[in-house]
Amino acid sequence: MIEITFRPPNAILFVAIGVVVVGLISVFLKRGKLARKLTVLVIVIAVAGGIVLVLYRSTTLTVGGEGLQMNGLSGIDLSWDDVEHAYLETNLGFSEYRPTVRTRGIAIGEYRSGQFLLSNGDSARVLMERSDQAVVIVTEELTYLFAPSEIEVLAEAINEFRQLP
């Protein structure tokens, strides 16, 4: 069993810190009662905390004898029996599996996490730290793209249980 961790970009943390700083500045510059200022401050901190809790969370992909499991908000538990095709796409930028439109999730730089439309029009669950190569897993219901920075480790782990062409 192999575990690969996808870490979100630090830009998410910087956005949350920026929200708190802007909130603090506005609270101190705003005229009014202390109770109102504290209410605004609590709301700002809650929003920043929500950003961090939801978006700045590492996701672990586990490859084992039973299949693929991914933790997180929209985790997966995919059996090898459900996999129709699995392969390493080495030229993702010109592939029919290139993520084009984010329908739900986050995309910052090369980091992608969530639901995306692919260049072939299909919907896919995407988790990427790079955009040049990806392991493509096709099931009857959905396509999955996984592109960790250590993609060779993921490809070798999948090869142990399901041969990649």
Q: What is the pLDDT of residues 29-84, one digit of tens each?
A: 877 788 888 888 888 889 888 888 877 888 899 999 889 999 876 788 999 999 99
What's the confidence (pLDDT) of residue 118? 95
Res 15 pLDDT > 90: no
Asked whether the whole model's pTM tops 0.85, one would answer: no
Cβ partners under 8 Å of residue 42, min gap 6:
none
How far is the C-alpha of 42 from the C-alpha of 115, rounded, in Å? Answer: 32
159's enclosing H/E stretch is: helix 151-161
Res 127 pLDDT > 90: yes
Res 105 pLDDT > 90: no
User: Whole-number mean pLDDT of the chain?
Assistant: 88
Helix 11-29 × helix 34-55 angle, to 10°:
180
